[in-house]
Chain A
Amino acid sequence: MLQSVSDFLVITKRQLLQMIRIPEVLIFATIQPAMFVLLFRYVFGGAIDSGVDGGYVQLLMPGIFVQTVAFTLAATAVGLAADMQKGLIDRFRSLPISRSAVVIGRTVGDTLQNVVTLVVMGLVGFLVGWRPSSGPVKIFLGFLFLLAFGYSMSWIGVLIGLSVREERVAQNLVFMTVFPLTFLSNAFAPTTGMPKVLQYFAEWNPVSTMVAACRELFGTENIFGATANSWPSQNPILMSLIYMILLVAIFAPISVRKYVRVSK
């Protein structure tokens, strides 16, 4: 048991080392969401009538946070696909380490990367007027929620990365699925404008429940959701928790199994 903990820590440490050895990666991973903050804040911010205290940026920040952590799936998938392609996964599999160490190490590493990204985004958000109003405990819980969501998305990324085995394929596949998911949500605009069917989809979409949950935790009224009045839109925190537990409960065992049997 202790041994497997140390195994996965070694793998996580490897990822932190990568950040130090090529800081460009982390810098770009941070600049991109920071740019999103600025673009949405100033391009759409003027056009969208938010109707909440403090303006659109209060609604926007939880949306961008969730979109960013949802893309942890991409980081994990691409990272593992690259390891597959280079034969590193084979090498790890030939070592006397626990069967889950490599994938757990990867998901934890990607989550630590999110910590850095979220801090930077939060600061950029603050500079452009984001003012969470719920007090330190809830704000902290909000960030914890985001990290947990990123972590559970990361497990889908494990399965994708080990299945497609090619960095570029992983990249395309992930972007094709995660982008629509983040836009078919209440992250950036009200769902009221969507056709009724899409509204229901958008409200059941985990991205929406996460965004709604974060708005609640950061102390902003979620006026972008709840139009179709579905259960998830009324209980976003609970629903998000259920989603996260489901994601990990389903994808973690499948992914570990995949890792054990994967063959290049």
Chain B
Amino acid sequence: MKSIIAQELVKTYDKGAVKALDGLSLEVEEGTVLGLLGPNGAGKTTTVRVLATLLTPDSGSATVAGIDVLKHPDEVRKIIGLSGQYAALDETLTGWDNLTMFGRLYHLNSAASKKRAEELLEKFSLTDAAKRPIRTYSGGMRRRLDLAASLIVKPKVLFLDEPTTGLDPRGRMEMWDVIDELVKGGVTLLLTTQYLEEADHLADSIAVIDTGKVIARGTADELKNQVGGERLEITVEVDQIAAATKLVELVSGTTPTVDSGIRRISAPVSNGSASLIQVLRLLDDAKIHPLDIGLKRPSLDDVFISLTGHVAEVISEEVVGGKNAAKRK
């Protein structure tokens, strides 16, 4: 069953001059995670706001758990949880105050809202900070409390708008763990992100959006295949670049890309591991000892560039670069 369906959503601003959503459609299967991936200004927040009943689209329709978002927003609000792009909490109040307040607003009685606040603080490792005002919290703690607030009534469908933007790597890892756990609990999740590797890690399927439209969808693997197969990459000493390039060309049958700055030679190959073995033999014969060698599948970064013709975001590039470096070992 589809838990979220959006059809041809259009939302314009400034009398049509800005098209935040330009016929966006998407579907999320019950109990799965959809990663809505796109750069700044792509329309992610607008999509979430429409689905969470905060914004009325100019045209189009949407249902959440089978309920029409435009016709019965009150019903939708009872079964969704929303954690927006910025932690939306009362900064002057404590974590405890915030959670019990939201509990009461979800119409739990006083005792139940306190019990739930306790459970959630425990679950998100915030018990120690419970009695401190939110303004003393770190970015990661705020996001976790914000997420906790959206889980008070165990929503059927959860919307997380850029849950890790602005967090340091540790905060991001903690957030990922928390989200992983939630997903195991069976919630249907729509998650937006600018981080390509975040969608890869957290989402079952991905919808890439740009300028208010879905421009590609599929699993991370499907998207990667869409861009092309594997690439052979080797790194050698500077004085061996020329010789090694000739060998890679011989094996791949195409002209390799050479990045002399990082001494890396790469070329697309069709029969991955066979090519790898072949090139290793040739290098060995030529007495060239590569510093690094491997097959690389295209990253979602590559996917994004090939789909949109532009780079996603400076910040996400860094992260992806770091991750690829780690993967290459």
Contacts and interface: CB of A to CB of B under 8 A. Distances in A.
Closest 5 A/B residue pairs (Cβ): A87-B88, A91-B88, A96-B77, A10-B104, A94-B82
Interface stretch (B94-102, B188-196, B207-215, B261-269): B94-102
B88 A21 contact: no
A87 B86 contact: yes
Interface in B73-97: 74, 77-78, 80, 82, 84-94, 97
Contact of B54 (A10, A13, A22, A94): A94
A3 interface: yes
B55 interface: yes
A138 interface: no
A263 B55 contact: yes
Nearest to B81: A94
Contact of B133 (A3, A14, A21, A97): A21
Contact of B91 (A86, A91, A93): A86
Contact of B77 (A3, A6, A87, A94): A94
9 contacts: A6-B104, A14-B97, A17-B97, A18-B92, A21-B93, A22-B133, A88-B88, A92-B105, A94-B53
A221 interface: no
A88 B101 CA distance: 12
Contact of A22 (B77, B82, B88, B92): B92
B217 interface: no
A103 to B, nearest CB: 14
A7 interface: yes
Chain A's interface size range is 20 to 34
Contacts of B88: 86-88, 90-91
B148 to A, nearest CB: 13
A91 B49 contact: no
A100 to B, nearest CB: 13
Main secondary structure of the interface of B (DSSP, over half): loop
B21 interface: no
A142 B327 CA distance: 75
Contact of A88 (B54, B89, B106): B89
Contacts of B106: 95-96
Nearest to B102: A95
B90 A88 contact: yes
Q: Which of B55, B74, B90, B93 has the most CB of A within 10 A?
A: B90
A96 B101 contact: no
A58 B54 CA distance: 51
A91 B142 CA distance: 14
Given A10-B104, A91-B149, A18 B80 contact: no
Nearest to A94: B82
B107 interface: yes
A13 B88 CA distance: 18
Q: Which of B89, B92, B101, B149 has the most CB of A within 10 A?
A: B92
B84 A87 contact: yes
B101 A14 contact: yes
A165 to B, nearest CB: 14
